[in-house]
Amino acid sequence: MRLSRAFLPTLKETPAEATIASHRLMLRAGLVRQTSAGIYAWLPLGWRVLQKIEQIVREEQDRAGAQEILMPTIQSAELWRQSGRYDAYGPEMLRLKDRHEREMLFGPTNEEMVTDIFRGFAKSYRDLPRNLYHIQWKFRDEVRPRFGVMRGREFLMKDAYSFDVTKEGAQHSYRQMFLAYLRTFARMGLKAVPMRADTGPIGGNLSHEFIILAETGESQVFVSQDLLDMDALADAPDYGADLAPAVDAWTSHYAATEEMHDPVAWEQVPEARRVSARGIEVGHIFYFGTKYSASMGLSVQGSDGKPVVPEMGSYGIGVSRLVGATIEANHDEAGIKWPDAVAPFKAVVINLKQGDSGCDALSERMYAAIPEALYDDRTERAGPKFADADLMGHPWQVVVGPRGAANGVVELKRRATGEKMEVSPEDALKKILG
């Protein structure tokens, strides 16, 4: 994409409403534009990141055996009355009426709907297990939206729902998602820590939160360094095998949020290995048994001919929140430092002298050779180009200036480290594409 024609509006000054780093940078780098309290429009740069994250989530869900569907944002109140949650959910649920005065709602989550869909098809224990997920916009009418997309009212979420015949089967489904989540966040360049969680209003009795560490996180967390040293991508799980050992390896180390913190157990962790930090919740998984299947009349015929009420779990990832969380974990004073996997552009080619034949030719050549490159072909001076490149946070900056063009070299800058090197165009491409 050529910057001279792109809709990538950056701001020199920070809009007054933004107080935390990710919100400030998302507005300044032109990722989003706020349209109401807690509601955002996604501009090209932000939308690209959102799609990158979504795609990683999708690939890891599919790999773990979940199947993608797409359920609507608007739901009928009738469905929620069946589970008893229509009255229980409270003012966080946005309720509306259609022209026939039928009560509707903008879905804050989809347990009822997916159970309704599933019960329409599943008749036999042979139809289980299944895990269905979708990536869809949710609305929760937060009392106080804040921190930009990190606590918005409308947000993009991946939510998966598993159906199993037995508790053991449900545990297996839970573990599949547990491991899939670790891989998902690791691929995004984030260090996510699973922590035992309170089950909250969704119910059930087995739950973990996935929290990434960032200085500006909203909750206090306590975690053993041993857990932080583990590599989620070390070996790909065999999702069909017994996953208990793999999950146990992760849950055997101490990790807790402030609410679940156990000072006595914490004392058992060697002092040098204790890490006390701030965290941002980016995922949450639950096993909740037959809470919805029972209340909504989902049952299948078992191998003995008798009805079985499926065991369920639900698994959420805050996709839009991850954009903010990634920035919280990867930025400096000048701007964003995108991890390669989610960067909106792989590299920016900065032409320092637009109109100079040498610079133009070399820049065009670099631009053509790099897939997903942004080309800063504006007739700006060097200052604004460098500033915007740092602000937008492209992993690589390919700087083409008159001197370099004459000598056949470019300057390559790695945004994450600040490292700069003068290299031949070929070596630059090798590093970027390699």
Partner RNA sequence: CGGAGCGUAGCGCAGUCUGGUAGCGCAUCAGUCUGGGGGACUGGGGGUCGUGGGUUCGAAUCCCGCCGCUCCGACCA
Given the complex with RNA, which of 207 and 290 has the nearer CB atom? 207
Is there binding between residue 196 and RNA (CB under 7 A)?
no
- The closest of 386, 385, 388, 377 to 355, measured between CA atoms, is 377
Is there binding between residue 403 and RNA (CB under 7 A)?
yes
Given the complex with RNA, which of 150 and 296 has the nearer CB atom? 150
Three-state SS at 200 = helix
Q: How many CB atoms lie within 10 A of CB 123?
A: 11
Is there binding between residue 2 and RNA (CB under 7 A)?
no
Q: Which residue stretch of 55-63, 135-143, 187-195, 221-229 sits at the interface with RNA (rule: CB under 7 A)?
A: 135-143
Under rule CB under 7 A, which residues in 56-75 are in contact with RNA?
A: none
Contact 52, 46 (CB under 8 A): no
Do strands 300-301 and 307-308 pair parallel, antiparallel, or not at all (unpaired)?
antiparallel
Is there binding between residue 49 and RNA (CB under 7 A)?
no
At closest approach, how far in Å is the CB of 144 from RNA?
A: 4
Candidates 2, 4, 17, 78; binder of RNA (CB under 7 A) is: 17
Given the complex with RNA, which of 224 and 330 has the nearer CB atom? 330
The helix or strand, by DSSP H or E, that contains position 63, with its residue range, turns out to be helix 44-63
- Give the span between the Cα atoms of 283 and 281, in whole angstroms: 6
Given the complex with RNA, which of 16 and 272 has the nearer CB atom? 16
Is there binding between residue 76 and RNA (CB under 7 A)?
no
Q: DSSP of 306-359, one letter per residue?
A: SEEPPEEEEEEEEHHHHHHHHHHHSEETTEE---GGG-SSSEEEEESSTT-HHH
Is there binding between residue 14 and RNA (CB under 7 A)?
yes
Looking from the CA of 228 toward its CB, the CA atoms found within 13 Å total 16
Candidates 384, 423, 427, 431; binder of RNA (CB under 7 A) is: 384
Given the complex with RNA, which of 68 and 198 has the nearer CB atom? 198
Contact 71, 113 (CB under 8 A): yes
Is there binding between residue 328 and RNA (CB under 7 A)?
no
The single-letter DSSP state of residue 259 is G
Is there binding between residue 182 and RNA (CB under 7 A)?
no
Is there binding between residue 144 and RNA (CB under 7 A)?
yes
At closest approach, how far in Å is the CB of 116 from RNA?
A: 21
Contact 419, 408 (CB under 8 A): no
| Residue 282 in tokens | 């980016």
Under rule CB under 7 A, which residues in 221-280 are in contact with RNA?
A: none
At closest approach, how far in Å is the CB of 222 from RNA?
A: 17
Is there binding between residue 388 and RNA (CB under 7 A)?
yes
Candidates 107, 289, 395, 404; binder of RNA (CB under 7 A) is: 404
- The closest of 348, 317, 316, 342 to 327, measured between CA atoms, is 342
Given the complex with RNA, which of 85 and 321 has the nearer CB atom? 321
- Give the span between the Cα atoms of 396 and 163, in whole angstroms: 44
List residues near RNA by CB under 7 A: 10-17, 19, 34, 36-38, 92, 140, 142-147, 150-152, 155, 157, 200-201, 218-219, 281, 284, 316, 318, 320-321, 334, 352-355, 379-384, 386-391, 399-404, 411, 413
